[in-house]
Amino acid sequence: MDKQEYKGIPISPGMAVEKPYFIEQEKKEIPNEKIYDVKAEVGNFIEACHKTITKIEKMEKEAKKRVGGKEAEVFAVHAAILKDQYSFISPVQQKIECEKKNASLAVEEQLKFIEKTMSESDSELFQARASDIRDIRNQLISEILHSELGSIPTKEPCIIVTHELTPSMTMKMDFSYVKGIVSEVGGPTSHAAIIAKSLGIPAVAGIADAMEHMDTEEMIILDGDAGNIIIHASEEEIEKAKDDVRRQEEEVHQLKKYIGCPSKTRDGKTISLYGNIGNGAEARNALQEGAEGIGLFRSEFLYLNRDTLPSEEEQFQEYKKALEVMGTKRVIVRTLDIGGDKPQKAIDIEEESNPFLGFRAIRLCLKRKELFQTQLRALLRASEYGNLAIMFPMISSIEELEAAKEELQNVADALRKEGVLIKDKIPVGMMMEIPSAAILANEFAKKVDFFSIGTNDLTQYTLAVDRGNEAVSELYTIYHPAVLKLIKNIAEAAHKEGIECGICGEAGGDRRLLPLWIGLGIDELSTVPKSILKIRKSLAKLDCKKCNKLVDKVFKMNTASDIKKLLEGKEEK
């Protein structure tokens, strides 16, 4: 049979080559007959609810152990739905008592009603929760009908292929055998993606009718970076893909030895390798991946996918969690960087024709003071629990920086007056991601404790290229000499004033650019936690003198393509 390639959505990186294991999410047949013993049927329903809740709570505990608290929260939501007297238990009971419906039919109807209300809601969060309802439905109805839900008895390495990966399904899997996941539905923020990524399992979603294309006796190739699957591949292709998997496993294995090692070059220059996170719970993962601190806590992630703003207390708990986990290690929390590609529903912002150049980040915070003050209060209160540093995003002028610092001071004074304990010296830094700030770096360096270069936006704003627009993506390059000159200017300005200069944009985790960052004297690199050990390994092979020479060469070049060629030649193979 001819090879077939299917393009889906990449949701968790890596390669896998195994036979598929299908998980059919067959719907249980619901009996239609009326009941006569109402009391017994209500009893049956309540007992099934209790049993299902107990199982869900067990899964929650298991999930906490396997993937952490944040991902386990979904099980608490499942249990809460089944415990909800007003929208679930009473309506089902009424259907049994008044309409004489059997328990499974009554449950089916009520959960369908809840699912419909959720999927028609404007809230993405509620829409996503609709799939949770299907998950609960299957579990509860199996319990009522006394039929065990199919477990996943894989004791052979396999690639799980399913319509939709549900949280309860993942808890039934033994991940030492699951080498990859293919789902017909789901996107990068689906549960499948979150769980697969945190377990490091390659996964692809969006392969329509996945099961129809495959044969359980034939190997499939899954490429989680490209978002592809290949079926009916030739022997040769299978062998080649297996080699890739072996290399990948070997690399992960080899990298383990860098955990706990200092991050230094061959000739002894030390830099800090930090992790980027989006909530408090991710700090633990960063620590396990070898992070020596958190270089960028994107606090706006706490505001996304919800209809209401996170309260001061809620934010305080998130920051506290990260600070406690990291102990004495530094945690740099960036204040709200909302807008641009990170729009947010709970904040009322008029539609803009140029949101990347619009009312966003610090500009918004300085106008919507109550929003900013709530966040600053939460941060300052949390400062007592670890080594906090605060960083302002999208600073383009000295006035903006002064205004943000003044607001921070006012909030600190007010809290102290209330008798709240706050750390005495909290370092305050700024993102360097707007060319005007990069050009005036000398002036800014006198007013902050550290810089962190946001290469993603600095590239976009320097080159006037939208960082998310496919049509101009070829023009979006960190290798452009103008971008690199700005970075050099920032680093030199920082060092002249004796402050630290880090990089927290994607380029900070790019091994090809590492010699350049060392040559420029960058003090700290912050990246997705999964890249930390790879960077530490590459760093150990570098020599500062060579890096300095490379910097001289780079800054004599005047095209991005020449610089890229030079740096790629230096990349560790």
Nearer to ligand PEP, 24 or 341 (CB): 341
- First-to-last alpha carbon distance for the chain, in angstroms, is 36
Q: Is 456 in the site for ligand PEP (CB under 6 A)?
A: yes
Binding span for ligand PEP by CB under 6 A among 28-36, 286-294, 454-462, 491-499: 454-462
Asked if residue 295 binds ligand PEP (CB under 6 A), the reply is: no
298 binds, among Mg ion, ligand PEP, none (CB under 5 to 8 A by kind): ligand PEP
Which lies closer to Mg ion via its Cβ, residue 8 or residue 339? 339
Q: Which is nearer to ligand PEP, 186 or 340 (CB)?
A: 340
Strand partners, 231: 4
> 316: Cβ–Cβ under 8 A, 6 or more apart, which residues?
377, 378, 381, 382
Annotate each residue in 473-512 with x if it binds ligand PEP (CB under 6 A) or - if it does not, as one string: -------------------------------xx-------
Q: Output b/e per residue, 367-401; b: 16+ Cβ within 10 A.
A: ebeebbbbbbbbbbbbbebbbbbbbbbbbbeeebb
User: Which DSSP helix (H) or strand (E) runs through 385?
Assistant: none
191, 365, 480, 547: which is the annotated catalytic residue? Answer: 191
Give the span between the Cα atoms of 182 and 228, in whole angstroms. 10
The interface region with Mg ion, picked from 301-309, 441-449, 450-458, 553-561 by CB under 5 A, is 450-458
Window of 20-28, 218-226, 408-416, 447-455 that interacts with Mg ion by CB under 5 A: 447-455
Assess whether 191 carries a catalytic annotation.
yes
- List binders of ligand PEP among 17-46 (CB under 6 A): none
Q: Based on the shown chain and the rule CB under 5 A, indicate whether residue 435 belongs to the binding site for Mg ion.
A: no
* 513 in contact with ligand PEP (CB under 6 A): no
Residue 504: active-site member: yes
Beta carbon nearer to ligand PEP, 528 or 557: 528
The dihedral built from the CA positions of residue 352, 358, 361 and 363, taken in this order, carries a sign that is negative
478 within 8 A of 530, measured Cβ to Cβ: no
Q: Out of 289, 407, 457, 497, which residue is the one contacting Mg ion (CB under 5 A)?
A: 457
> Which one of Mg ion, ligand PEP, none interacts with residue 490, CB within 5 to 8 A by kind?
none
Q: Looking at 78, 298, 320, 570, which residue binds ligand PEP (CB under 6 A)?
A: 298
- 531 lines the binding site for ligand PEP (CB under 6 A): no
Six token digits for residue 342: 């990170």
Choose between 20 and 454: whose C-beta lies nearer to Mg ion. 454
Q: What are phi and psi of 525, to 5 degrees?
A: -120, 135
Q: Letter for the amino acid at 449?
A: D
Please give the full DSSP string across 398-444, using - where no structure is assigned: HHHHHHHHHHHHHHHHHHHHTT----S---EEEEE-SHHHHHTHHHH
> For residues 393 and 432, is the Cβ–Cβ distance under 8 A?
no
Sheet holding 228-231, edge to edge: 4-7, 228-231, 220-223, 15-18
Residue 130: which of 150, 110, 112, 146 has the closest Cα? 112
135 binds Mg ion (CB under 5 A): no
At its nearest, how many Å lie between ligand PEP and the CB of residue 504? Answer: 5
CA atoms of 107 and 115, how far apart (whole Å)? 12
Q: Does 290 bind Mg ion (CB under 5 A)?
A: no
* 163 neighbors 209 (Cβ within 8 angstroms): no
Binding mask 312-351 for ligand PEP (x = CB under 6 A): -------------------------x--------------
- Is residue 455 a contact point for ligand PEP (CB under 6 A)? yes
Return the DSSP state at 383.
G
Residues in contact with ligand PEP by CB under 6 A are 296, 298, 337, 433, 454-457, 504-505
Residues in contact with Mg ion by CB under 5 A are 433, 454, 457
User: So which residues are the catalytic ones?
Assistant: 191, 504
